[in-house]
A and B are shown apart, each in its own frame.
Chain A
């Protein structure tokens, strides 16, 4: 029997409870092109691409087309690309394989103090030298030059833009120092691809599909021709560089298709996001007392902004925002699984408690941002009042 609408249940005004997802830097919502490509590839690309029957050949066709699309989008050769189960796996493969490939020249990894924790964990498996950043989160280029020029340097690692505060790094200058020293540069571009140009000059680059609106579970690693990379994992029978085992082909197809779409609309999306982030930077500083908006105000990612509120428990603020329908993230220690403050905020010497990172996706509206800006000062004031401030 068909269900009858129950008119005794009051209609919920979904405008009032509609959530605003402001954590795209953790995982962007699936781009419509990714959704479409994923469904098509699930129907058509489920077979093992190495098999010789028709379904296998079809899967192989899809895999090759995806690789070609990545190559075109990243302006590299298809055989320079390998696919990994995540951006984390791709970044760790870059560090471990890049360092192993240079064993004859040295064993030390030079990295910025604000790399993603995946890179820092890989760095700690061997010798590493950390290069500090300034208050805005920009690496100290003189210290970088000294570190990469030192004897025994195998590889240098620089995040293209901070995933926590949005500051763009001077990749071109850093790459110049690496070239002078003959040291390959790995750039973790997970936060930049699809949002901001990554300057040339790197030897290895990694990216993560779910940061640009592709599905989760696809990491991309580019190793330029002539760069020696030795797999940190046992290889399979195919002797091709890459993650052991089969990739999630439908997800890879969706990742490639969405990257092409995202790059096509990137400049208009970035222009809109840059203006929204400028509004957040300006309004938060004007309406929340004792707040520090962190990161470079000008040379920054278009879609990401971070601020810290004095006397505020970051976890309490996250929960208060969540109750109002806003999803954001935080680098405060109370919100971290490690119970330590964010190493990025520490390296910059900025306030780590009461920290909020807001990151926008392509469909974030001015209305959502304004609703966030309207509720934030009151929530901060309530938490401070409870703490006796």
Chain B
């Protein structure tokens, strides 16, 4: 089964790096990318409205950048928590940031719908850790 990834980062280069790293580690895979968190929300909302077969397109994992203009990672999670899709499909969200700011880490921990925190750059080790969780369950 191909794991479906949804990547959100305002920096196109980081998005590219993350995509490449995932493609390298997880085959086969399905990756959708957004440079704008609100577009990603729209995408997920759109999935809800479609039939259940489309629901299969729902991502298994979201890699979410914290610092983004207009809608940052935490604002995305607030919006995401209000979506119905969350109830139907277990989506694991990982927050990505280049700085392990203690306040951000604390916030990530408190956020129930957030599975973990990954330091940038995304490494093979981190990706394998994420996929490990899917293999066990």
A and B bind: no
* B positions within 8 Å CB-CB of A: none
* A positions within 8 Å CB-CB of B: none
